[in-house]
Amino acid sequence: MTVDFSALANAPRLLFEIPLEPLQGKRFQPTGFPGLGAATFQTSEGQCLLVESAQSMANWLEQTIWDSANNDVLPRLKGISHVSVKRKGEFLTDTILESHRLNSPYLLEGSDQTLFNQLKSEFGAMEQGPIDRKKLAVTLLKYDIGSLLHGVFLAKKELAGGRLRVARALSAFIEAEGVRIAASGGVKNDHVHPSGDTKSGFGNVPFARDEFTAERITLYVNLDLGQIRGYGLDADVEKLLILLALYKLRALLDGSLRLRTACDLAAVDADPVARRPAGFALPSAKDLLDDLESAIKGSNRKMTVEKVSFDDELKKGKEDPDASGGGDDAAGDVP
């Protein structure tokens, strides 16, 4: 191992507060919510803004280990547990890409009940009485290691009564302070028929848009080391989970933080240092990846890569005007 984790030995949390700035210019577009718009809030220091939610950040962190060209995890991370779903022989999705991970309907609601029956068998003893947290953690590690970091809620009653849940061990969100509205707008031009019926998509359509400026933009990251230790797994798996969490954070910062078309951010400091425990520096991607490869090999026998099929008809759901999902935050939260 090249990464020194001795500073984390007795720490309950690993906390980062990483300053960000727009990659170009001063303006940025925050996340928006149906019926709410931008999530502004007031503190004693003034007007603040939620730039990216915890739900959405979990998705961004998951994507750092995904090779979209090959529909698989990155080559050097092969061996970590996840479930791949195919439709008529072609790749459809994966627990790494699913907002609810193992609780994805593409795994549990299709006619292929292979994985569902495996989970039902393994969780059967927990239908009544106290939940065996270690057994739960061992099973989640076996099928989808991401559920131990990003959380999961197995809500189906057939799976131990629908009460199996794990909170996020790795959580992150982005907030901005000292924000001001930067009002702008434009026109969707129709050079063929400027006065056409706009309801049908013709004609010139002017629009207004609110972006923001900020005195400070901060990425807050919380790795719950106490929760990871509380899983009751061995020291090798604990190290694997911490390495995987830190690699995701490092890959996110070193890669693209283009959250939306008009929200392209970058870290002010290339080498962030934790606020708690003070002085712990985020290791380099190379060191984390080197150690991750070794840690994956050491725990490989405890993890599987499952493949299931979802060939069912994709039915269109009824529209719910009061639904709160959608947009950049269509990721279910985990208590």
Q: Is residue 58 part of a domain?
A: yes
Given a cut of 90, is residue 317 above it in pLDDT?
A: no
Q: In which residue are the tokens 């008809």 written?
A: 313
Q: Is residue 325 part of a domain?
A: no
Q: Is residue 333 part of a domain?
A: no
Residues 12 and 141 placed together within one structural domain of the fold: yes
Beta strands in the chain (DSSP E): 13-22, 32-33, 37-43, 46-52, 66-67, 72-73, 82-87, 90-94, 152-154, 164-166, 170-177, 180-188, 205-213, 216-224, 257-260, 263-267, 305-309
Q: Is residue 302 part of a domain?
A: yes
Domain of residue 191 covers 184-213
C-alpha 63/C-alpha 241 separation (Å) is 16
- Work out the percent of the chain whose per-residue pLDDT is above 70: 94
Residues 57 and 189 placed together within one structural domain of the fold: no
Q: Is residue 329 part of a domain?
A: no
pLDDT (tens digit per residue) in 175-234: 999 999 998 878 889 889 988 888 888 988 887 778 999 999 999 999 999 999 999 999
CB-facing half-sphere around the CA of 246: CA atoms within 13 A: 32
Residues 195 and 248 placed together within one structural domain of the fold: no
Q: In which residue are the tokens 């106290």 written?
A: 130
Choose one of 198, 213, 228: the last residue of a domain: 213
Q: How many domains does the chain have?
A: 2
pLDDT (tens digit per residue) in 255-304: 989 999 999 999 999 899 999 999 999 999 999 999 999 999 999 999 99
Q: Is residue 323 part of a domain?
A: no
Calculate the average pLDDT of the chain. Answer: 91
Residues 219 and 86 placed together within one structural domain of the fold: yes
Residues 103 and 69 placed together within one structural domain of the fold: yes
Q: Is residue 318 part of a domain?
A: no
Tokens of 264: 């392209």
Three-state DSSP class for 239?
Answer: helix
Q: Are 98 and 134 in contact (CB under 8 A)?
A: no
CA atoms 231, 234, 235, 239: torsion sign: negative
Residues 209 and 219 placed together within one structural domain of the fold: no
Residues 164 and 236 placed together within one structural domain of the fold: yes
Residues 224 and 159 placed together within one structural domain of the fold: yes
Q: Is residue 219 part of a domain?
A: yes
Q: What is the C-alpha radius of gyration for the chain, rounded to an integer number of angstroms?
A: 22
Residues 153 and 193 placed together within one structural domain of the fold: no
What is the band of 319 on the pLDDT scale with cuts at 50, 70, 90? low
C-alpha 83/C-alpha 304 separation (Å) is 8
DSSP codes joined into one string, 115-129: HHHHHHHHHGGGSSS
Q: Is residue 279 classed exposed, middle or buried when 0-12, 13-18 and 19+ CB atoms within 10 A define those classes?
A: exposed
Residues 112 and 226 placed together within one structural domain of the fold: yes
Q: With a threshold of 0.95, does the pTM exceed it? A: no
Given a cut of 70, is residue 330 above it in pLDDT?
A: no
Residues 190 and 304 placed together within one structural domain of the fold: no
